[in-house]
Chain A
C-alpha cells in the first residue's frame, strides 16, 4: 500500500501520541518519578476496574459505618496480607521480590483508600461532618476491593495493546489489506468492545436505587466534575496504563487519544441512558434534569467498563 509522505508524517505524529515508553532509563528519569507516576496510574486504572461497582453499592457504605473498630482493624490487616500474596504474583510495578511485594501491598492499600475517598466525595457519600470512625469505616470497606484490583494491575492492564487483535485479524485474512477496511474493522471492534464493557459494568448498577440517591444529591457542578473525572479515568485506563503502540491504518485526527477518549465516553453515556430507560428505577427518566443527572452518575462506572472492554479485546 502506497502511503504519501504527508500521510506518513501524520501517522508518525499520531503514533507519537499513542505510544508510551514502557520503561524510562536512568538518564531521562534519574529519580524514577516518571516511571513511578506511570506505575501509580496503572494501579489506579486497575483498582477502578475492580472497585467501581462496589463504590456504587449502598450496603458497602452502610457496612462501613456499622463495623466496630476491631472489625475494621482486622479488615485492614487482611487487606495488607492478601495484597502481599497477590503482589508476589502480579502487583503493579515491574520489579519482583518479596520486599517489593511487601512495599506494593502497603502502597496498594493506601492508594485504595485515597481512590475510595475521591470517588465517595465525588458521589456525595463522604462528608467530613461525621465522626472519624464513621468516615474511616466507609473508606476501609471500599478500599479493600480497590486495593485488590491494584495488586492485579500487571495482569489486568500492563502492556495491553490492541496490536494483537489487529495482527491476528490481518494474518487471518491476508488478502484483505485495504487500509480503509482494516481501519473500519478496527474501529468497529473498538466500538463493540466499548459498548460491551460499558453495558456489562453499567447493567450491574443501573437498576439499583443508588443511582437515584446519588443523582438526587449531586449538584450540577458536581456532575460536571464527575464528567471530567470520567474522561480522565477513561484516558488513564486506555492510554496511560501501558498502551504501547497501535497500528493506524488510515491516519486521521479521530485516532488521537483525546478523540478516542471522548468517543468512548460518549458511547458510555448513550449506553447509560438506554439502560436507565430500560431497566432503571421508574423515576430515572421522569424529567430531563433527572435523566441527565442519572446518566452522568451511571456514566462513571460505564466508562470504566468501556475502557476495560477495550483492554481485553
Chain B
C-alpha cells in the first residue's frame, strides 16, 4: 500500500472529481463518424448472410426507418452532418456558403496592429526544421465577422500562402479556393474547389487546413470545434489527393506535426518598440528553450534560457520582455539536444526596433 494513500480522504475525493472532469472533457473531443449506423447495418447484413447463408439483414428496416432514426439522432443534438458520403456525388443539397468578401483577404504584410474590419487570425504554414517539414503558426489579418467568415478568411489566406516569414510556405496548390464554411455540431465543414493537380504534400496540406480552421475556432471562443470535414464542390469525397476525407479530420499529434519550438511573436518583419515581448511556443524537454538575439552584424547581444509553462509531451508557452536599442535584429528560438547539446529546432525572425 502506498504510504500516502489513506492520508487524506478529502484530497482523494477531489482527485476523483478532477478525473471525472478530465475524462468528460476528453470524451467530448472524440470525433464520432456521421454514418456509423449505416456501417453497422452493412456489417450486420454481411454477418447475417455469412452465418445463415441468407440475404437477410437490415434491408427491410433500413428503408423504412432510416429517416426516422436520423430525425431522432438530430433531435438529440448530436453532431451528425447529413452529407452524402459518396465517391460519385449525385444531386446534393447546395451547401450554404458564407458571403464572398468583395475584396480578397488582404495580405498586409507584417504589422503590429490589425487594420479596421480585419481580425488577427491564426494561420498554420509549413517550414522545414532539421530536415522535417512541420507546421508553424503565424497571425495574419483577415476579414472579421462571424466564425464561418473568419475561418473562411483564414483558410483563403493560408491557401494563398503569403507568410510573414520567408522560411515558411503553404502546402496548398495555387488555384484552390474555399467555396464556403459552416459549423455543424462539433465539426467545421469546409467546402473547397481544388485544382486537378495533386500537391507534393497532400496530408500536410490537409493538416494545415485542420490546424488553421480549429485554431480560428479556438481563438474565437469555440475550442470544442475540433474536427473538420472537407467537401469538394459541395459533395463529400472518399479521398482528396489520396487522403481519406470521408470522415471528419482532427489534428495530428503535436509532437508529430508541429515545429518543436517557434517564435510566436513578434513575427518576421515586425517593427516593435524598444521594450517588447517575445513569445515562444513549444513542446520541449524540461520545458526549456533558448531565446537568442543577434544584431545586424550577426553578433549575439542576448542569450536567455527560458522556461515554458509546460514541458514535453505538453505544449507550453512563455513570454519574455526584451529591451533593445533601435536597430535591426534577428530573434532566434531553439532548444539544445538532450543527447549531444546541439542546437535543434531553430526558428528565426528578423525584426526592427524603432
A binds B: no
Q: Hey, which bits of chain B sit against chain A, CB under 8 A?
A: none
